[in-house]
Structure 1
């Protein structure tokens, strides 16, 4: 009976029709999840259930690193929940919530049906760009948001808040650049490249219009790393020239009205005062500005982490931390907050050192796989995305938020290569 089940699973895994149908569901998920249309969950579930035959075979053969990580995420969350029953009995949930870490793994079932196929990457990334564009245009139709953006108003185009809009725009600009090179040799290459050039310019405009300083800073670091990443392709002599171009573009951006208005807002909002007090070591009187909220939440988290350093106290601990904070509860603006604006600190509060070790192992395993068999420009894109993602999660918990998980799983699904299963070679290893 077991052999019969394995045979049926192997037939499904090798079926081109089955793979095509689930891949179409991947496209529909990417298209519908960004505007948050409820029907997207149907396709998400089809992807997950559609991967069960593959996961079953993977449990019997092949490299099981990803499965060990998946089991580890459930184990850690269970142990943290048990610890929360003793550490914060009044705030602990009645059962463990597995969603926080498990949500990081959606790329895995999606990757079964993409398998680093270049054409499928192009289609999936193009679907993302079109879906994002339609989302922006629909919001503009209802609220004239593009006109507002042209007039210097900070807009989010309905994506939770402007930080997420900036993050999406930055990734969309990077994807447009990637596709510019990936379509080499494709039919109508010249026309498509013109469209992608316009796409890149549009997303850079959205990035500026949504005015998120954390994304600007992180993307600047990514751009400054590009000449070094491209040194083999462009040669050492051209690195200096590329840096001069980037610095010139940066100088021009600093002269734009949007940039200067945002910097003036930084000064007027008190964030400059916050920076000066942090440097001076005056950490007890940090005002609740945009940056001040972040710094105060990190300070509050420090004492909480010391009390439960090994296993943490689950996501409930993060909410309880805010509720017990006099600094946050005394301010109407922050009293309802439920996160710490830093994914790594939230991980330490929720799952302790064990959770952080898991996260490091997760990143190392997944991105090591993503880099495998990749050449430029994909190698540079993956590396740039990794740098961007590691940086921006210091200022916002993108890895635990809807739109952050959407982008993370989109990119990783295109670059993670799952182990082969259902082959004769795999059966010999049993």
Structure 2
């Protein structure tokens, strides 16, 4: 499929349409490469890519216009309008002057991403690779450059000047999942094999080291769950698709490689991990004992207390929420929270609670519907032979990883997480749309039944 997707059906020889398609794909590449490293370039590219993609879908995406993605986008806008309107009459002193429908709508930029990818696995891998390269470039441009690494290995927690350490760690974690999922593809023989292998090893080293120096417990936890699942799914698939003897040798070699790399990595990472976890033990012990008032206001304690505050606000308006500023209301207007917490924290460090307190169960339902639709589409595209197995493996691992990390930081509320969400989901959805297109063509090519017996 071409990056113009359905545009080819409306004039495959139209030079203007071809240039329009390639310009859209180019804007996607600039967005993926520079949003982190050079926001002044990547930001406008995102706007151009998203707007042109939406115009293209509405103009030429005859069948895609009926996709659940578009209906969920409409639902997201309506839910935000409803929450704002009802809030305007219920608590006008706390409601924004205008409904900020971009809060949820920005999570649907993946529609444009999927359109410009045109159902191509090669283009998807290219865009994902450009995003990872742009992130590595950003590590040098922002913050203190190489000094960040020196400080990190000296035991300090560093963020490389990309919002904060949690968001930088999220990028490292996502990169690690992708590198592992596509390891066989990257390390295979063929054209540019040496370059690909060296690049893979270097990228892996950067991601593992970055996960250590950014010292983010939520990311470690998510990887601790996602990586074993990833390994189990890969082993299951490999045993089913290869001779038993070959599969056993391959899995044994993989296990030994993990041990050889993992043991020194754990030794290096043990001290910062242990220190970070030990600091939170008093809060965890008080929570498990049910003594909520005794929970200290350390990192975990602040999260716990603000989450308690959020549940009180959710209980008052569980269906439609408090509007786009609900997450800050739950902190600023809760009387029993200390003033210093209100001064230093403006969000809940949990995307799903933020979604619920802002837009109620209606907002949660839209997000759940999107997750179900993407998951089902990924499964169908893989079963249909359109989505490669390694990409499906990455999709499953990322889904679990993303659910967990958003329990401890509101990545989907910030540009950093929206960027990852739209690129990954767009890459999966483009294969689903390609699979649907293939199904329709196959259906159209079948002999049509007649009303009379032959």
For the superposition of Structure 1 and Structure 2, which TM-score range results when normalised by the shorter chain? 0.7 to 0.9
- The question of 1:218 aligning with 2:222 is answered yes
Q: Closer, same or farther in 2 for the Cα pair 1:360/1:285, shift >3 Å?
A: same
- The question of 1:85 aligning with 2:88 is answered yes
Per-residue CA deviation, residues 110-142 of structure 1 (Å, 9 max, x unaligned), is 111113312212321221122111111224665
Of 54-63 and 388-397, deviating more is: 54-63
Per-residue CA deviation, residues 354-404 of structure 1 (Å, 9 max, x unaligned), is 111111101111232234232321111111111100111111111111101
Query: Retained in 2: the 8 A contact 1:222–1:388?
Result: yes
Query: Retained in 2: the 8 A contact 1:173–1:203?
Result: yes
- The residue correspondences of 1:247-262 to structure 2 (distance < 5 A) are 252-256=264-268, 258-262=269-273
Q: State the alpha-carbon separation in 1 of the partners of residues 389 and 56 from structure 2.
A: 33
Of 245-254 and 214-223, deviating more is: 245-254
Shift of 1:292: 0.6
Q: Closer, same or farther in 2 for the Cα pair 1:409/1:283, shift >3 Å?
A: same
Work out the number of aligned pairs and report it.
Answer: 417
Q: State the alpha-carbon separation in 2 of the partners of residues 342 and 163 from structure 1.
A: 13
Query: Retained in 1: the 8 A contact 2:143–2:160?
Result: yes
TM-score normalised to structure 2 length = 0.83
Query: Retained in 2: the 8 A contact 1:154–1:210?
Result: yes
Shift of 1:88: 2.2
SS in 2 for 1:332: helix
Q: State the alpha-carbon separation in 2 of the partners of residues 315 and 99 from structure 1.
A: 10
- The question of 1:408 aligning with 2:388 is answered no
Per-residue CA deviation, residues 76-117 of structure 1 (Å, 9 max, x unaligned), is 111111221233221111221101110101111011111331
Shift of 1:415: 1.8
Q: 1:388 aligns with which of 383, 396, 401?
A: 401
Q: State the alpha-carbon separation in 2 of the partners of residues 54 and 310 from structure 1.
A: 32
Per-residue CA deviation, residues 273-294 of structure 1 (Å, 9 max, x unaligned), is 1100111111123211111111
SS in 1 for 2:161: coil
Of 98-107 and 283-292, deviating more is: 283-292
Of 274-283 and 245-254, deviating more is: 245-254
- The question of 1:340 aligning with 2:352 is answered no
Shift of 1:244: 8.0
SS in 2 for 1:326: coil
Which residue in the other structure is 2:371 paired with? Answer: 363
CA RMSD of superposed structures (Å): 3.0
Q: State the alpha-carbon separation in 1 of the partners of residues 366 and 327 from structure 2.
A: 19
Q: 2:323 aligns with which of 314, 322, 327?
A: 314
Per-residue CA deviation, residues 251-295 of structure 1 (Å, 9 max, x unaligned), is 654432x4323422443x4x1111001111111232111111111
Which residue in the other structure is 1:232 paired with? Answer: 236
SS in 2 for 1:341: coil
Query: Retained in 2: the 8 A contact 1:115–1:416?
Result: no
Shift of 1:143: 6.7
- The residue correspondences of 1:12-411 to structure 2 (distance < 5 A) are 15-51=17-53, 52-58=55-61, 63-139=66-142, 142=145, 144-183=147-186, 184=188, 187-235=191-239, 238=248, 252-256=264-268, 258-267=269-278, 269=279, 271-328=280-337, 330-371=338-379, 372=381, 373-411=386-424
Shift of 1:341: 0.8
Query: Retained in 1: the 8 A contact 2:30–2:41?
Result: no
SS in 2 for 1:24: helix
Shift of 1:246: 5.4
TM-score normalised to structure 1 length = 0.88
Of 174-183 and 130-139, deviating more is: 174-183
Q: Closer, same or farther in 2 for the Cα pair 1:168/1:216, shift >3 Å?
A: same
Query: Which runs of 5 or more structure 1 residues have no equivalent in the other structure?
Result: 1-5
Q: State the alpha-carbon separation in 2 of the partners of residues 248 and 422 from structure 1.
A: 45
State the structure with bigger RCO (CA 8 A, min sep 6), 1 or 2.
Answer: 1
Q: State the alpha-carbon separation in 2 of the partners of residues 116 and 317 from structure 1.
A: 38
Q: State the alpha-carbon separation in 2 of the partners of residues 143 and 200 from structure 1.
A: 18
Query: Retained in 1: the 8 A contact 2:7–2:60?
Result: no
Q: State the alpha-carbon separation in 2 of the partners of residues 293 and 313 from structure 1.
A: 22
Query: Retained in 2: the 8 A contact 1:58–1:64?
Result: no
Q: State the alpha-carbon separation in 2 of the partners of residues 322 and 193 from structure 1.
A: 48
Q: Closer, same or farther in 2 for the Cα pair 1:422/1:178, shift >3 Å?
A: closer
Shift of 1:177: 3.0
Q: State the alpha-carbon separation in 2 of the partners of residues 61 and 137 from structure 1.
A: 40
Of 90-99 and 9-18, deviating more is: 9-18
Query: Which runs of 5 or more structure 2 residues have no equivalent in the other structure?
Result: 1-5, 241-246, 445-454
Query: Retained in 1: the 8 A contact 2:374–2:428?
Result: no
